[in-house]
């Protein structure tokens, strides 16, 4: 074996929130109603991501497309652009399987985690 160097790659996903759907929720439902919708949406998003990850690890891949489609809808509803994009990419890499699917699913997980943290941090700043 050679003494080749090992490069550490640190993913740097961008995080963007589309303020338009969030603003529309607040305009339509008021503060309490919008916060309730956003909280329910985040709960649903995380639950569906857990299902996708469980199905992936259990190799039950036929259930993943419908869950991922729903993640896209939920993410777009509350302005989580990067989560919606990552979920769409999971759907696109599903037929490829292997490393492509694993990497894309990991990106979806990281992006969702970051979105939840950013939303709650923003909520804490405004509360």
pLDDT at residue 5, as a whole number = 73
Domain with 31, as residue range(s), is: 19-126
Residue 3 lies in a domain: no
Contact 67, 51 (CB under 8 A): yes
Residue 107 lies in a domain: yes
As a whole number of angstroms, the distance between CA 125 and CA 127 comes to 6
Residue 6 lies in a domain: no
pLDDT at residue 125, as a whole number = 47
Nearest CA to 17 among 90, 76, 89? Answer: 76
Residue 14 lies in a domain: no
Residue 63 lies in a domain: yes
Count of domains for the chain: 1
Residue 91 lies in a domain: yes
pLDDT at residue 21, as a whole number = 94
Contact 12, 82 (CB under 8 A): no
pLDDT at residue 17, as a whole number = 82
- The pTM is what? 0.83
Give the mean pLDDT per block of 10 residues along the chain (127 residues). Answer: 62 73 95 95 97 96 96 96 96 95 96 88 55
Residue 35 lies in a domain: yes
Residue 109 lies in a domain: yes
């Amino acid at each position: 074996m050679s003494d080749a160097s090992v490069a550490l790659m640190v993913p740097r996903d961008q995080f963007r929130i589309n303020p338009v759907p969030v603003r529309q929720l607040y305009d339509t439902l008021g503060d309490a109603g919008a916060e309730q919708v956003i909280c329910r949406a985040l709960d649903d998003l995380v639950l569906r991501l857990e299902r996708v990850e469980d199905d992936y690890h259990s190799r039950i891949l036929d259930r993943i497309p419908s869950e991922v489609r729903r993640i896209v809808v939920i993410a777009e509803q509350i302005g989580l652009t990067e989560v919606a994009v990552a979920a769409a990419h999971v759907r696109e890499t599903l037929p490829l399987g292997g490393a492509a699917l694993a990497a894309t699913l990991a990106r979806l997980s990281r992006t969702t985690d970051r979105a939840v943290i950013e939303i709650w941090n923003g909520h804490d700043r405004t509360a």
